[in-house]
Structure 1
Amino acid sequence: MTRIAEFFSVALSAAPWLLMGLLIAGLIKAYMPEQLLQRWMGGRGFGSIARAAVIGVPLPLCSCGAIPTALALHRGGAGRGPTTAFLIGTPGVGVDSILLTSVLLGPLMAFMRVLGAVVTAIATGLMVSLTATSAPVKLPVVKTTSGCCDSGCSTATGRGHDHASSSHDRVRGRLAGGLIYAFGDLLDDISTWLIAGLLLAGVLVTLVPPETLSGMSGGLLSLFVMAIIGIPLYICATAATPVAAGLLLSGITPGMALVFLLAGPITSLATLGVLRREFGNQALLVYLSSILVVTTLLGWLLDQTLQGLMLNPVTQASQVQELLPEWLEISALGVLLILVIRPLRRRLLGF
């Protein structure tokens, strides 16, 4: 029974915070207009790149989901730098994965993950912006169907803006559309990877002793290898979190866990293909090189800092996990399972 409890401990700890993150993601989906993003990301200087990186952090999109929004912004006038920063910052971390990181790896690791995603996005955006040889041509804006800021999200409820009879109805329609997106489309996008990540984390926590991977940790080479492994191994930010937690408990350094959390979610074959088509081979090479170098250095700096301050993220995580009662964690996991199983969700909730 002890083994079974350990196996499900990660899932129980994660469930309430994941539900809260999905709720916030739905609110962002409902009320952040794409026109506002277009205005904030306009231009090609450092300010636009930094804004694009910061704006992308809370948005509830994986790498593939960020592509149509980024294309729309780029073809609407955003430069290479802001577009690249948005493509990195958005899937690198999200409001749901931030909460999940806080409870599974501790508040310090959550802060470093957000900071690392922003720094990686800004640095890579600046480097890619240098590959532009001439002023880009403003292309027709593509219509996004899965972007987080699609203004037509409320159409899923059948009460879009064109059919609303009052301001109150419009607000309710947007809210309903955002929640249906978060607990329907978004959860469907991440559920397979999320379940796999939770199961793998349970196996690591239960069966792999902490000293197993400790011999493989330490030094720039280990961090660089982790970055090389993470880049082609695309996994969404939320699903990467329990895997990183399991690896950390199995003996890798916090810096290696951070490199995995940064490098894995921000790249996918779809992203690389779009970058190559839109910006060319040189920009793609700069993009990959920058991610490798920046994530490795960030992991190294984290390890050195934690060693100097003698801080342990695992201790922080265990303190956060004790905040919620067991009955709430079990209830939240049950609700999450209902939402993940699509036929059951449709039968009970209607979407």
Structure 2
Amino acid sequence: MDTLIAIGREAWHILVDSSVYMIFGLLVGGLVKVFVRPGFVAQHLGRGRFLSVFKAALLGVPLPLCSCGVMPAAASLRRQGANRGAVTSFLISTPESGVDSIAITYALMDPLMTVARPLAAVSTAFVAGALENLSEREGQAPIKPDLSCPVDGCCDGVDCPPEVHAAHHGFGQKVLAGARYAFGELWAELAGLFLLGVLLAGVITALLPAELLSSYLGGGLASMLIMLAVGIPLYICATSSTPIAAALILKGVSPGAALVFLLAGPATNVASLTMMTGLLGKRATAIYLAAIAVMSVLLGLALDAVYVWLAINPQAVMGQASEIMPQWLRLAGVAALLALSVKPLWLSLRSRLSGAGGRTCADDSCACHDHGHGAAKGLVGIEVHDHAAGGHGHKHN
């Protein structure tokens, strides 16, 4: 009983520290969805071996999609004419980062890790995408950007000129639509995984001895390789991986080893790699995996060197940003997150208990199927099923 109380206490502290930043990240993610035109995303990813890759890496950073949810969006981009390198870059930078995960990184870690994480994601994505384009010989299809309304699909953007469509939705309507997406569909995707991550972080903080972790994961190449082996097959999103990484650092794991986990975990898992093979082929998937493995280890070693060079004790600075928020505001954030989580968690539990059709998630809370489609439709204007990687997706304008 004492053990369970200790785990619950540590998990509660992590949840309190991260709640306000989580809500902020969700809201920004929702605003990105409605204010960034999907045609703008698609039309910049088809030309140039390097510039398109760099743009794809940058555009993927703020988008809050997991490694499964990003697949339908990537399939849509590919069919619209994005080159393989740009798609590969998008597939790496998007799940490795996101405004929600950046915000919670600042809350639970420190400013250096907050900056290093998206920079590492962009660097890894660019290297992988550039290598893919350099090895690509086939001609690229012209881009056919989707211009449909990202707020409610009221027009296709072709028969309705932008100056006319601009009058359809005011600023307030867009903000409300973004908030509905953020605290509805987006949080439904993340709620279960995030809360599980908080619980696992509580287990690590309460039970694992610091001496054990610091002995094996305190820094160096061996630490990076161990975290790489743990992260690659694991399904975990960028947001839920953050409290786990923070707990590991507090127990003596080096920031570089934690960065390897934060890069490899969200970007790779068996399900997403299978879909990627169908979308881009075996060669692209091999380049994708190799780039993530090599770059995450190199960047992890570099980050540890930066901490040493700046004489920063990571255990001493972890989570200081959360202390800026008053306690009442943090508790209000926890209450809001838990209230928003009731419906998606209940639907997910009900679906698992009923075993409807062998599915593993509810219609309103599926992180890898229905919500991935919704995210794809919101980002690029096309709803794509996972088997679209094989060319049999359905398009809805």
Q: TM-score range by the shorter chain?
A: 0.7 to 0.9
Distance 1:45 1:166, change over 3 A: closer
Contact 2:32–2:63 under 8 Å retained in 1? yes
Q: Provide the residue aligned with 1:238 in structure 2.
A: 239
Q: Distance in 2 between matches of 1:129 and 1:170?
A: 40
Most deviating of 268-277 and 294-303: 268-277
Contact 2:11 2:198 in 1 (8 A): no
Alignment of 1:175-190 (within 5 A): 175-190=175-190
* Equivalent residues of 1:58, 1:93 under 8 A apart: yes
CA contact (8 A) 2:42 2:143 kept: no
Equivalent pair of 1:124/1:290 in contact (CA under 8 Å): yes
- Which amino acid in structure 2 is aligned with residue 281 of structure 1? K
Tell me the residue number matched to 1:299.
Answer: 300
Where 1:63 maps in the other structure, the secondary structure is: coil
Aligned residues with identical type, % of pairs? 39
Secondary structure at the aligned position of 2:226 is classed as helix
Supply the AA of the counterpart residue of 2:281: G
1:74 corresponding residue in structure 2: 78
Pairwise CA distance, 1:168: 6.6
Contact 2:252/2:315 (8 A) holds in 1 = no
- What SS does the aligned partner of 2:235 have? coil
2:152 to 138, 151, 154: 154
- 1:196, CA displacement in angstroms? 0.6
Give deviations 1:285-337, integer Å, cap 9, x for gaps: 12111111110111011112212321123333342121111111111100100
- Structure 1 residue runs of 5 or longer lacking an equivalent are 144-148
**Distance in 2, Cα, partners of 1:340 & 1:189:** 10
The residue aligned with 1:37 is 41
| Match in the other structure for 1:132 | 136
- Give the distance between the partners of 2:81 and 2:295, measured in 1 at CA: 27
State whether structure 2 residue 199 is matched by structure 1 residue 195. no
Offset at 1:42? 2.6
Work out the CA distance in 1 between the residues paired with 2:16 and 2:179.
23
State the match for 2:266 in structure 1. Answer: 265
Number of aligned pairs?
A: 336
The answer for the alignment partner of 2:387 in structure 1 is: none
- CA shift in 2, pair 1:24/1:166, >3 Å: closer
Higher alpha-carbon deviation: 123-132 or 47-56: 123-132
2:97, 2:238 within 8 Å by CA — same for their partners in 1? yes
Give yes or no for contact 1:25–1:96 (8 Å, CA) kept in 2: yes
What SS does the corresponding residue of 2:266 show, helix, strand or coil?
A: coil
**CA apart distance, 1:76:** 1.5
The alpha-carbon deviation at position 65 of structure 1 amounts to: 2.1
- Whole-Å separation in 2 of the counterparts to 1:131 and 1:279: 13
Q: 1:335 to 1:344 in 2, by over 3 A?
A: farther
1:1-351 equivalence runs, <5 A: 3=6, 5-137=9-141, 151-154=149-152, 160=154, 167=167, 169-217=169-217, 218-342=219-343
What is the alpha-carbon distance in structure 1 between the residues aligned to residue 230 and residue 148 of structure 2? Answer: 33
CA distance in 1, matches of 2:169, 2:223: 55
How much has 1:88 moved relative to structure 2? Answer: 0.7
AA in 2 matched with 1:10: I
Higher mean displacement: 209-218 or 285-294:
209-218
Distance 1:208 1:171, change over 3 A: same
Aligned-residue offset at 1:205: 1.9
The Cα of 1:209 is off from its aligned counterpart by 3.7
Residue 120 of structure 1: CA displacement?
0.6
Task: Sort the Cα spacing of 1:150 and 1:265 in 2 relative to 1 into closer, same or farther, 3 A.
Answer: farther
CA distance in 1, matches of 2:103, 2:216: 29
Distance 1:343 1:256, change over 3 A: closer
Is contact 1:97-1:237 (8 Å) kept? yes
What letter matches 1:222 in structure 2?
A: S
Judge conservation of contact 1:154–1:174 (CA < 8 Å) in 2.
no
**Which runs of no fewer than 5 residues in structure 2 stay unpaired?**
157-163, 348-363, 365-397
Instruction: Give the superposition deviation at 1:138.
Output: 5.4
1:199 aligned partner, one-letter code? L
